[in-house]
Each structure stands twice: as C-alpha cells, then as structure tokens.
Amino acid sequence: MKTIIVNKPKEVKVIDTEKPIRKPGEALLKILYGGICGSDLGTYRGTFAYSDYPRIPGHEFSAEIIEIDENDLGFKPGMVVTANPYINCEKCYSCQRGLVNCCEHNETLGCQRDGAFSEYFTLPIERLYDGKGLPAKVLAVIEPFCISYHGVSRANIQPGDKVLVIGAGTIGTLASVAAKAKGAEVYIADIAEKKVNYAVNTFNLAGGLVNDGDNETFIEKCMETTNHNGFDVTIEAVGSPSTFQNCIDAVAFGGKVVLIGVGKKNLDFNFTLIQKKELNIFGSRNALKKDFLELIDLVKSGSVDLEKIITNTYDLDDAPKAFADFDQNAANMLKVVIKF
C-alpha cells in the first residue's frame, strides 16, 4: 500500500509499505479522506512540539470498515466511520478520573506515534464512530471541529457573550462556529486579512479584526469593539506567545481565556494581570467521545455546513505538493484534505 511519510522537516514522500494485519478487537480500515492538521504542518516545518522523525502523519480521517470482529457496537464491514485518534494509557491519574483527553502519556496519531495517512490502517473497535451517512470528505474534518468545540465548551459560553477568537485557521474558524452555535456574538482575528474575511463572510460572524503586527493598536481595536469593556471570552488558536498575550489583554475583567493553540516558545508577561482581572484561564487538549458524537449529529442536522472549511483537495500521489503548498500559502488556505 501507499503511505505518506515526513522523513525530516520539509521532506514528504509517498512510499510503499506493508498492508497492516488486523488483530482481534481491531478493525481494518480503508482510508478515504485525510485532513492535514496544523500539527501535521508543524511536523513538516519542524516546529511542532510533540513530533519527531521520521513520522507518518494524520489523525483527521474518514474510512471504510473492511474487516471487523462481531461486536456489540453495531459496526460492520462497509460502514464509513471516523475515529478518536488520542491514544491514552488508561493508567495515569488523568485516565483514572476519566480525563482521557489529557492523559499524562497521551500519544496522538501522527504526532507522538505514526498516524493514519496510509491506504489501510487498523484501530481498536471502541475508537470508531459511525459517520451516520455524512459524506466521507466532511466526516474527515469532524476531528478538528471536535478540538475547537471542546475548547469552546471549557469556557461554558452563554448566549450573548462577546467572544474573540484569535487565529483564523481551521481550528480558530471552527471555534468561532462552535461559539456562535452557543449563541455568542463572535469576532475573529488574524494577521491574514483574507482568512478573517473568509471566516466572517462564510460563517456569518459578528466581525473580524486584523492584527497588522502592532499589538497596541490591535488591543485598541478590541476595546473599541467592546465599548472598552473587553471580551467576555478570548480563545487562542495559534500557539504563539504574542497571541496568548493578546488574549490576556483583550479579555474583560472577570473574563475567561481558553488556550487551544500549541507552541514551543515561552512567554514572559506580567502574570499579576491574571490576579488583577481575576481571570479564568483554561487549557484545552484533544477532545472527548461526547464531542465527536455531538458534532456528528450537529453536522448531520444541517446546522453547520462543515464542507465550507475545506478549501483544497489533493490526490494521494500529490501529498508532497499538498504539504509544500500549505506551507507556502497558509494565509490563503484553511482545511487541506487528501483523497486516498
């Protein structure tokens, strides 16, 4: 079978590998579509905090079940599914408390362990989720929607809250969609004006803010937008020290800050602002089973047109070009998917 591999930063190849053999309790899956995550792009660039080389990327995907044992979950050959790609240890304190999304020894497919970007892949049956008839291309982007949705859920957003999402990539845009679905007045910000406009116009958000690199001016824009009160909730979806600082500065006194973005750099800041504003700061890692199930139903209902997040599709053999194009044109591309 064909497999996509990142041998080192900026080197992606499509190679031949052996088709996996299914073990008892596992399903043999034929991958249909796979989304290139920001973490996959970070692996390609050499900037992702949780990856080493060589690495097979991929944890956003849809697949057809080829072989599977008899099971009480209703899965059968021919069904189209997606899956939970966060492999937890089941032993650490987090796992013991049911917080499997933030397992101390978590290994996400394509990050700390090889991912699903092969023509065939195996996974434990209990990790599968029925796609309920969603198109395979759309089902492949349920996982990034879950990342965004889980972060938004952490903040317990209420109808009427003013929310600022910093980062108009896939995760940030989908966080905006999730916050809007909870009744919030949502604004999105980025350095890329084209992405901001796309998010605002495509998903009918309240407004967009462009940060031209002058953070002081950007915060002034935020204050003007909120009648100088600050936002009730700010969500960081970039993974940059400066954008996390923006979230701290732009949030209202008594507000909430959610960190979804992943980065490698440190931030030196006046931490007394947390005390002064009495802020609630939430980290958000991965997602839970309930996030997948709720979002599959939400997209199935027609409430969210998730396909609009997909801006580019490539064939499997063009995977090296897909990564290179995404790297060079990230300001103009949202979700990039590969058709297997």
Domain boundaries defined on the chain: 2-140+305-339, 147-283
Question: What mean pLDDT comes out for the span 225-254?
Answer: 97
pLDDT digits (tens, 9 = 90+) for 279-307: 999 999 999 999 999 999 999 999 999 99
**Of 25, 50, 46, 24, nearest to 115 (Cα)?**
50
Report angle CA 7, 63, 321 to the nearest 5 degrees. 35
Confidence of residue 197 (pLDDT cuts 50, 70, 90): very high
Pseudo-torsion of CA 168, 171, 173, 174, nearest 10°? 180
Q: What local confidence, expressed as pLDDT, does residue 48 receive?
A: 83
- What percent of the chain is helix, strand and coil (3-state, nearest 5)? 35, 30, 35
Alpha carbon 322 to its chain centroid, in Å, reads 18
Q: How far apart are CA 260 and CA 244, in angstroms?
A: 10
| Residue type at 41 in one-letter notation | L
Q: What local confidence, expressed as pLDDT, does residue 256 receive?
A: 98
Q: What is the mean pLDDT of the chain?
A: 96
At residue 75, does pLDDT exceed 80? yes
Q: What local confidence, expressed as pLDDT, does residue 26 receive?
A: 98
Q: How far apart are CA 318 and CA 117, in angstroms?
A: 13
**Of 225, 231, 228, 175, nearest to 203 (Cα)?**
175
Q: What local confidence, expressed as pLDDT, does residue 51 receive?
A: 82
For residue 234, give Cα distances in angstroms to 39, 159, 161, 248, 315: 22, 15, 11, 8, 37
Q: What local confidence, expressed as pLDDT, does residue 124 receive?
A: 97
For residue 232, give Cα distances in angstroms to 166, 241, 246: 14, 21, 14
Largest CA distance in the chain: 61
**Of 106, 21, 44, nearest to 328 (Cα)?**
44
* Topology at the third CATH level for domain 2-140+305-339: Quinone Oxidoreductase; Chain A, domain 1 (3.90.180)
Question: What mean pLDDT comes out for the span 38-59?
Answer: 91
Q: How far apart are CA 16 and CA 14, in angstroms?
A: 7
* Topology at the third CATH level for domain 147-283: Rossmann fold (3.40.50)
Please state which of the ranges 14-18, 32-36, 46-50, 305-309 shows the lowest mean pLDDT.
46-50
φ, ψ of residue 327 in degrees (nearest 5) = -60, -45
For residue 61, give Cα distances in angstroms to 118, 144, 252: 11, 10, 38
At residue 49, does pLDDT exceed 80? no
Q: What local confidence, expressed as pLDDT, does residue 100 receive?
A: 96
**Of 266, 267, 283, 273, nearest to 251 (Cα)?**
273
Residue 248 per-residue DSSP state: H
Confidence of residue 331 (pLDDT cuts 50, 70, 90): confident
pLDDT digits (tens, 9 = 90+) for 106-165: 999 999 999 999 999 999 999 999 999 999 999 999 999 999 999 999 999 999 999 999
**Of 84, 5, 92, 81, nearest to 43 (Cα)?**
5
CB 166 within 8 A of CB 235: yes
Q: What local confidence, expressed as pLDDT, does residue 264 receive?
A: 80
Residue 286: other Cβ atoms inside 10 A: 20
pTM of the model: 0.94
The DSSP element (H or E) to which 228 belongs, if any, is none
